[in-house]
Structure 1
Amino acid sequence: MPEKLSLRLNPWLSRLDQMLDGSNEHAVAQRVSLIAFLVRVVSAGIALVSQVIFARWMGPFEYGIFVLVWVTVVILGNLSCLGFQTTVIRFVPEYLERKQYDHLRGILFTSKAFAVSVTTCIALVGALVIYALRDRIEIYYVAPFLVGLICLPMIALGDTLDGTARSRSWVLVALTPTYIIRPVLTLGVMSVAHLAGLAPTAMTAICSAIAATYLTSLFQLYIVCERFKAVVPQGPRAIYFKDWFVVSLPIFLVEGFFFLLTNADVLMVGRYMEPDKVATYYATVKLLALVHFVYFSVKAGAAQRYAELMQNFDHTQLERFARDTARWTFWPSLAMAIVLLILGKPLLWLFGAQFTEGYPLLFIMVIGVVARASVGPAESLLNMAGKQKICAVVYAVTLVVNICLSIVMIPLYGLAGAACATAASMVFEALVLALTVYNRLDITMFVFAGRIGTKSAKEEI
């Protein structure tokens, strides 16, 4: 390699080497984020292929029914954990550091048992409500929703196991089942059903997803339990449910509002428009996931490190790491957004010619996604810093803004109105989160904050 080129590349290669082989916490967080990012890249490819096949087999109407039912079931399953899937990330490192193994065994058992029991009750109540209101619900939604509720306990268990594995930075164990194994199994079961001659309806797709979810969650349960046996010695459990629930409830509100916020647009489109329009909008949103998963990847690697830095009371290092995570989120998101806008139309055409109607929506919604990426996983920082309540308020207000804008704009402008409502609420969310982090933690969590600070320092000198 020429000497000049070697000198230019040396700093970048050194950083790459530190990230891949470094043993300090910063390098570990970067490595976890990178692995999570790669998992999400593979997941996005699998999801794109599977959803294209589903849309081609089922047609827009049946595919739209499947989309609305599955999104609703996933939302309910996630919310039913009541925040315990994130609470374990906060407490497991603490209990391990202090060697409080009885507490650790208690929270590991409680988080899983609580998730499964609560979601089972919610599924039963939900089935009764749907049956009682069956005359007020479009007939083509009733049976799919009733069957879809069977999946709730395993979705909640999977989310809890995800958080449990992330608490130990076992990122592959955390993400691979949900984002790779489950969609592959769903496509596999659906393919077998298709080859067997079953009609490619929404009901067939939902049953395929249920079978895949049960197999995946039970497999992940086995893996996580086996790995913790090597970390935690056998012994009694100390269960402090009240203390954990006090922490979980605000986290539940934060993540619940956030999860609703990221899926409310699909539900609102389903409320005002026919299933074929839901299908078009959902296909567009799935493409946007190619950009948005950068944020989730960084969050997966950063949450545990945030908690550790808060335990060490190192504000300077916490601020530096927070700004780093904002940069890790923004620049890959921006690059992927540009690529998506270039390739968006042919990618939507893969779903079917009618799905290209969603291409103009990408230009609107990308604005919100990039704005959100500019502040990194700010809500995760607030959660790990014990600021769950104010974070919950932020997301509650943002959700209200999103719903109000959707109610006004979807009837007037259709899918474009839904896209504008989503983009505007994401810009609002990013602004309020950045201001909240600054006011509560005295940290400027913005992608350009470090550069601005460096420039000011040079001018003073």
Structure 2
Amino acid sequence: MNDIASAGRPPDSAPPPEAGSGRVARLREALADILRGETDRTLAQRTAFLAFAIRASSAAIALLSQILLARWLGSHEYGIYAFAFVAMVLVGGLIPLGFPASGQRFIADYSESGRTELLRGFLFGSRVFVVAFGTAAAAVGMLGIWLFGDQIGGDYRLPLFLILVCLPAYALTDMQDGMARNYGWIDLALALPYLVRPLIILAIVGGTMLAYGRADAVTAAYALIAAIWVTGMTQLVLLEVRLSRRVPRGGRAYDWKTWLVTSLPIFLVESFYMLLTNTDVLVLSIFESPDKVGIYYAAVKTLALISFVPFAVTAASSHKYAEYGASGDRQRLEGFVRDTVKWTFWPALGATLAILVAGRPLLWLFGPEFVVGYPLLFVLVIGLMARATVGPVDRVLNMLGQQNVCAIIYAGAFALNLVLNFSLIPMFGMAGAAWATSIALIVESALLFLAARSRLGLHVFILDRRR
């Protein structure tokens, strides 16, 4: 009633203009606090904002690059490149064996305790390890293609062989990403792989188009090799410069047993997650033509902005979960978990609505034949939003000693996803792949929520009726 009555007041009884300016002032003050504040919360917000800004910018660049690649290559060659690229991302993401994530714990621990010899040993040894392992994996993969290449589709063989050259540098970049995040160097962690790399690919493929009038999946594979190695080596040099100012010189000590024992459970979590998020494209390539694979992959890439939101929040928050857990500060831990869930869900929801509205014209930009993938967006976002409701719950579990439980959940979700893909794709094609992924993500999100509640007593969900 008071609201209705106040609506009928004459203009001279309206709230003074200072009320509106006061709200603006409070908003400006809040933004200034995020930009210049030194509390853990504002530092995490600023880091998340910077990470999201870089990833949002990279989303625009990545979307543009995928559109141009699809236009230049055509749906058939684009589908071949998509398969080879996803295979490289899957294998390359597994090579570090969980060291990038566990490193956030080791670097913080060694820095706080003053064990600088172990700190220097981890910073050096982990990178040598992932490059060596990546080189070995590439050699084994090439040998496998040479020996059993007849079992691989002829269109896929050469691009897949070439992309294996990327593995050592891709794994090194992943390792250095984790190191840079731990020191708060989000620009160094993300700018080169997510902003510069796609631009190099565009420049090489676009230059080939201008020079020869055509390009194919092999051209794109060569471009990817150059982009990953150039950005990886540049990041290595820049990281060394910054570390030389932050870490005192001296000898190195190595604790490989502790590093491996801690990293391997995290590796299991990440491997099952990588398999979960990439199985659809790989299985689809078994049953469908490269054209269909390309259309499906274009739909997935159109939704990439949604996945960048949790990525940004995770980049800012993982080490804080470990810090609050180690200190026993339960109140700050619970408050920070609530914050990170909100930072994940609401921006993801906004991005989802925007993409669904603009999805059809966005897919048309890839080429007229890609518009048939528009209905897939509505299926895929179901799983993505289910995942957003629990925020970075997997990182909460990993950083607080529950990585084994997390690994079991991801293993189950991957197994479910694999069964669903092989069951639904032969019957429903691209739609089957989309439904398989979304159902698996829903089940995974529910299990992660239950694990956090039962194991840690944390309510990691966007809705909290207890408050």
- TM-score, normalised via structure 2 length: 0.95
Is the CA contact (8 Å cut-off) linking 2:117 and 2:253 kept in structure 1? yes
How far apart are the structure 1 equivalents of 2:31 and 2:270? Answer: 32
| Aligned mate of 2:106, from 62, 68, 91 | 91
1:416 alignment partner in structure 2: 431
Superposition pairs for residues 121-140 of structure 1, below 5 Å? 121-140=136-155
In the alignment, what sits opposite 1:459?
none
Match for residue 305 of structure 1 among 320, 326, 333: 320
One-letter amino acid of the structure 1 residue matched with residue 321 of structure 2 = Y
Q: SS where residue 133 of structure 1 aligns? A: helix
* Structure 1 contact 169–304 (Cα < 8 Å) conserved: no
Larger displacement relative to structure 2 (128-137 or 175-184): 128-137
1:288 — aligned with what? 303
Amino acid at match of 1:61: H
Following superposition, the deviation at residue 386 of structure 1 comes to 1.5
The letter for the 2-side match of 1:182 is R
2:226 alignment partner, one of 202, 211, 217: 211
Q: Is the 8 A contact 2:131 2:168 kept in 1?
A: yes
Deviation at 1:41, TM superposition (A): 0.7
Aligned position for 1:344: 359
Q: Give the counterpart of 1:317 among 328, 332, 335.
A: 332
Query: 2:79 matched to which residue of 1?
Result: 64
Residue type matched to 1:150 in 2? V
Count of residues paired in the alignment: 452
1:49 maps to which of 64, 67, 73: 64
Does the C-alpha gap of structure 1 residues 10 and 374 become closer, same or farther in structure 2, counting only changes over 3 Å?
farther
Q: Answer with 317-326 or 184-193: which moved more.
A: 184-193
Q: In the alignment, is the contact (CA less than 8 A) between 1:198 and 1:204 conserved in 2? A: no
CA-CA distance at 1:198 after TM superposition: 6.7
Among 341, 345, 350, the alignment partner of 1:326 is 341
1:240 to 255, 260, 268: 255
CA distance in 2, matches of 1:10, 1:338: 29
Instruction: Kindly provide the amino acid, as one letter, of the partner of residue 281 in structure 1.
Output: Y
Structure 1 counterpart of 2:12: none
Q: Does structure 1 retain, via aligned residues, the 8 Å contact 2:72–2:214?
A: no
- What is the SS of the residue equivalent to 1:116? helix
Distance (whole Å) between structure 2 residues aligned to residue 3 and residue 430 of structure 1: 46
Q: Distance in 2 between matches of 1:375 and 1:47?
A: 26
The more displaced of 10-19 and 391-400 is 10-19
| Normalised TM-score (structure 1) | 0.96
Q: Secondary structure at the match of 1:453?
A: coil
Give yes or no for contact 1:166–1:304 (8 Å, CA) kept in 2. Answer: no
Q: 1:107 aligns with which of 122, 135, 152?
A: 122
- Residue 453 (structure 1) aligns with: 466
Q: Which ranges in structure 1 are unaligned for 5 or more consecutive residues?
A: 455-461
- 2:67 pairs with 1:19: no
The letter for the 1-side match of 2:248 is P
Superposed displacement of residue 192, structure 1: 2.0
> Are 2:413 and 2:444, in contact at CA under 8 Å, matched by a contact in 1?
yes
Aligned amino acid, residue 197 of structure 1: Y
Q: CA deviation at 1:58?
A: 0.7
* Distance in 2 of aligned mates of 1:40 and 1:243: 33
Q: What is the SS of the residue equivalent to 2:31?
A: helix
Deviations 1:391-427 (A, max 9, x none): 1111110111111111111111111111111111111
Q: Which residue of the partner structure matches residue 74 of structure 1?
A: 89
| Partner Cα distance (1:143, 1:348) in 2 | 28
**3-state SS of 2:246 partner:** coil
Tell me if the contact between 1:61 and 1:279 (Cα under 8 Å) persists in the aligned partners.
Answer: yes
Query: Are 2:273 and 1:258 equivalent residues in the alignment?
Result: yes
Q: Which amino acid aligns with 1:377?
A: P
Which of 380, 390, 403 pairs up with 1:365?
380
Post-superposition offset of 1:291: 1.1
Q: What is the DSSP-based 3-state SS (H/G/I as helix, E as strand, rest coil) of the residue aligned with 1:200?
A: coil
Counterpart residue number, 2:398: 383
Name the CA distance, whole Å, in 2 between partners of 1:161 and 1:334.
Answer: 31
Q: Which has the larger radius of gyration?
A: 2
Contact 1:434–1:444 (CA<8 Å) still a contact in 2?
Answer: yes
Q: RMSD across aligned C-alpha pairs, in angstroms? A: 1.2
| CA distance in structure 2 between the aligned counterparts of 1:427 and 1:310, rounded to whole angstroms | 27
CA distance in 2, matches of 1:200, 1:250: 42
Is the contact between residue 398 and residue 425 of structure 1 (CA under 8 Å) also seen in structure 2? yes
Residue number in structure 2 paired with 1:457:
none
Query: Unaligned 5+ residue runs, structure 2?
Result: 1-15
- 1:146 paired to 2:158: no
2:401 aligned counterpart, secondary structure: coil
CA contact (8 A) 2:55 2:194 kept: yes
Q: Residues 78 and 291 of structure 2 are in contact (CA less than 8 Å); yes or no, is this contact kept in structure 1? A: yes
Q: Please state how far the C-alpha of 1:8 moved relative to its aligned partner.
A: 3.5
CA distance in 2, matches of 1:275, 1:2: 61
1:249 to 264, 268, 289: 264
1:395-410 equivalences under 5 Å are 395-410=410-425
Contact 1:261–1:398 at 8 Å: present in 2 too? Answer: yes
Q: Quick one: structure 1 residues 431 and 40, their matched pair in 2 at CA, closer, same or farther if it must change by over 3 Å?
A: same
Asked if 2 retains the 8 angstrom alpha-carbon contact of 1:326 and 1:375, the reply is: yes
1:453 partner amino acid: R
> Which letter does structure 1 place at the counterpart of 2:165?
I
Tell me if the contact between 2:310 and 2:392 (Cα under 8 Å) persists in the aligned partners.
yes
Shift of 1:195: 2.1
Rounded to whole Å, the distance in 1 between the matches of 2:358 and 2:401 is 41
- Give the counterpart letter for 2:167 in structure 1: L
Partners of 2:287 and 2:425 within 8 A in 1: yes
**1:230 matches 2:240:** no
1:6 and 2:12 are equivalent in the alignment: no
Q: Is the 8 A contact 1:105 1:237 kept in 2?
A: yes
Check the 8 A contact 1:260/1:399 in 2, yes or no.
yes
Residue in structure 1 matched with residue 409 of structure 2 by the alignment:
394
Cα shift at 1:11 = 4.5
Distance 2:100 2:307 in 1: 21
Percent identity among equivalent residues? 43
1:269 and 2:278 correspond? no
Q: CA deviation at 1:244?
A: 0.4
